[in-house]
């Protein structure tokens, strides 16, 4: 039997590619999503107004405070060009070309200072970050991709403000307790909870620390996926680093027996009782339910995702044709 001639119709391949990509990019809705910052912008420009892709129009506002502080800026470093909505899930961001870079101004001083709050942040205020009333359960998940440039003690990643402190604050804790002018060798995740009775004073429940046991390697200069969940039924926070459990802890029995909210802003990068973060953030998503690790966002770094799928489909067609040829022979 003569060999089966393999020919490619470029117009049909182009049409196939267009159809395949269109199917991949069908928008998906996740009812639990409150906020989703994809940080799509022009690299090098200030992130003064950040678009919310959740559909709730929770536009973030960039700002800075302190001597030498600068606004957060869009940056070309990202964890991956393609973002999936969960493990093997649909594409939720097909062109992730920028993140946001936060600067801690103290790091750039003539004599660097690694424990300053001089820096930029992004914030938004909305009742969607709080329970409807004191009797309504409110569990949530916060996730993001983070890349640390300089390890800052108690650097604010994200939180919910409560007067001068937070209702809750996801920040970092140095590994190796370096002096203020010496950068720590690494960072771990940490959570601060303020649930004292009176918001303006210290007391039982104030500045409660819940740490992760993620063995460091968070401040290694690489991109990491981090997430926390809060289970309102048990008052338990749980940490995840790169999709692996990294620790958990309950709000203590002292103070108010739940998280305390007062309408404060949801913020990224600075304040809320923490210090200025120095590094990159991308794909920040807040959901008003507890997600499992297979529901967390996933980054695909390969720029040829669609092409690989096309090659795979073509290979499958060729195998089928060879199987037919074998039967005919």
In the predicted model, is pLDDT for residue 86 greater than 60? yes
Task: Mean pLDDT check: name the lowest of 66-80, 118-132, 241-255.
Answer: 241-255
**Residue 314: which pLDDT band, with cuts at 50, 70 and 90?**
low
What is the pLDDT, as a whole number, of residue 301? Answer: 83
> What pTM value is reported for the model?
0.82
What length is written for the chain?
329
What is the pLDDT, as a whole number, of residue 110? Answer: 93
Considering the domain boundaries, does residue 61 fall inside one?
Answer: yes
Rg, the chain, Cα only: 23
What is the pLDDT, as a whole number, of residue 29? Answer: 38
What is the pLDDT, as a whole number, of residue 2? Answer: 43
Considering the domain boundaries, does residue 280 fall inside one?
Answer: yes
**Residue 318: which pLDDT band, with cuts at 50, 70 and 90?**
low
In the predicted model, is pLDDT for residue 72 greater than 90? yes
**Residue 320: which pLDDT band, with cuts at 50, 70 and 90?**
low
**Residue 325: which pLDDT band, with cuts at 50, 70 and 90?**
low
**Residue 24: which pLDDT band, with cuts at 50, 70 and 90?**
very low
**Residue 52: which pLDDT band, with cuts at 50, 70 and 90?**
very high
Three-state SS string over the chain comes to CCCCCCCCCHHHHHHHHHHHHHHHCCCCCCCCEEEEECCCCCCCCECCEECCCCCCCCCEEEEEECCCCCCCEEECCCCCCEEECCCCCCEEECCCCCEEEECEHHHHCCCCCCCCCCEEEEEECCHHHCCCCCCCCCCEEEEEEEEECCCCCCEEEEEEEECCEEEEEEEEEEECCCCCCCCCCEEEEEEEECCCCCCCCCCCCCCEEEECCCCCCCCCCCEEEEEEEEECCCCEEEEEECCEEEEEEECCCCCCCCCCCCCCCEEECCCCCCECCCEEEEEEEEECCCCCHHHCCEEECCCCHHHHHHHHHHHHHHHHHHHHHHHHC
What is the pLDDT, as a whole number, of residue 324? Answer: 55
In the predicted model, is pLDDT for residue 8 greater than 80? no
Considering the domain boundaries, does residue 114 fall inside one?
Answer: yes
Considering the domain boundaries, does residue 5 fall inside one?
Answer: no
Highest mean pLDDT among 26-35, 59-68, 244-253, 295-304: 59-68
CA 138, CA 135: separation in Å to the nearest integer?
A: 9
In the predicted model, is pLDDT for residue 101 greater than 50? yes
Task: Mean pLDDT check: name the lowest of 60-64, 117-121, 138-142, 207-211.
Answer: 207-211
Considering the domain boundaries, does residue 2 fall inside one?
Answer: no
CA 304, CA 172: separation in Å to the nearest integer?
A: 34
CA 37, CA 267: separation in Å to the nearest integer?
A: 12
CA 142, CA 284: separation in Å to the nearest integer?
A: 8
Mean residue pLDDT of the chain comes to 85
CA 87, CA 80: separation in Å to the nearest integer?
A: 14
Q: Within 13 Å and on the Cβ side, how many CA atoms surround 219?
A: 25
Give which of 34, 37, 190 is closest to 102, Cα–Cα. Answer: 37
In the predicted model, is pLDDT for residue 88 greater than 60? yes
In the predicted model, is pLDDT for residue 313 greater than 50? no
Q: Within 13 Å and on the Cβ side, how many CA atoms surround 313?
A: 12
> What's the domain count of the chain?
1
- Which tens digit of pLDDT belongs to each residue from 152-183? 989 999 999 998 889 999 999 888 777 788 88
CA 92, CA 110: separation in Å to the nearest integer?
A: 43
Looking at residues 204-216, what average pLDDT do you find?
A: 80
- Say which CATH number the domain at 164 has: 2.60.120.200
Range of the domain at 316: 30-328
**Residue 57: which pLDDT band, with cuts at 50, 70 and 90?**
very high
Looking at residues 109-131, what average pLDDT do you find?
A: 95
What is the pLDDT, as a whole number, of residue 1? Answer: 45
In the predicted model, is pLDDT for residue 307 greater than 60? no
The whole-angstrom distance between residue 2's C-alpha and the CA centroid of its chain comes to: 56
Question: For 323, phi and psi rounded to 5 degrees?
Answer: -65, -40
Considering the domain boundaries, does residue 20 fall inside one?
Answer: no
- Which residues are within 8 A (CB) of 234 and not within 5 positions of it... i.e. 6 or more apart? 250
């Amino acid at each position: 039997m003569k060999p089966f001639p393999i020919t490619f119709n470029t117009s049909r391949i182009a049409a196939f590619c267009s159809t395949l990509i269109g199917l991949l990019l069908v928008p998906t809705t996740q009812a639990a999503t409150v906020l989703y910052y994809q940080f799509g912008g022009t690299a090098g420009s200030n992130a003064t107004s950040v678009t919310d892709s959740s559909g709730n129009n929770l536009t973030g506002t960039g700002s800075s405070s302190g001597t030498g502080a600068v606004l957060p800026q869009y940056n070309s470093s990202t964890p991956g060009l393609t973002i999936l909505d969960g493990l093997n899930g649909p594409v939720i961001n097909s062109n992730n070309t920028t993140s946001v870079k936060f600067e801690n101004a103290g790091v750039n001083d003539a004599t660097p200072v690694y424990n300053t709050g001089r820096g930029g942040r992004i914030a938004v205020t909305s009742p969607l970050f709080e329970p409807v009333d004191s009797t309504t359960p409110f569990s949530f998940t916060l996730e993001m991709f983070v890349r640390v440039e300089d390890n800052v003690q108690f650097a604010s990643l994200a939180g919910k403000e409560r007067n001068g402190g937070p209702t809750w604050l996801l920040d970092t804790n140095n590994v190796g307790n370096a002096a203020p002018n010496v950068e720590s060798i690494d960072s771990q995740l940490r959570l601060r909870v303020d649930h004292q009775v009176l918001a303006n004073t210290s007391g039982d429940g104030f500045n409660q620390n819940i740490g992760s046991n993620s063995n460091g390697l968070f401040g290694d200069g690489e991109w990491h996926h981090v997430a926390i969940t809060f289970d309102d039924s048990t008052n338990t926070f749980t940490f995840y680093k790169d999709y692996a459990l990294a620790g958990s802890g309950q709000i203590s029995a002292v103070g108010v027996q739940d998280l305390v909210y007062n309408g404060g802003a949801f913020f990224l990068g600075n304040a809320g009782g923490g210090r200025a973060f120095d590094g990159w953030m991308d794909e920040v998503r807040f959901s008003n339910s507890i997600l499992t690790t297979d529901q967390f966002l996933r980054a695909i770094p390969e720029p040829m995702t669609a092409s690989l799928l096309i090659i795979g489909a073509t290979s499958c067609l060729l195998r089928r044709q060879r199987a037919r040829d074998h039967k005919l022979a």
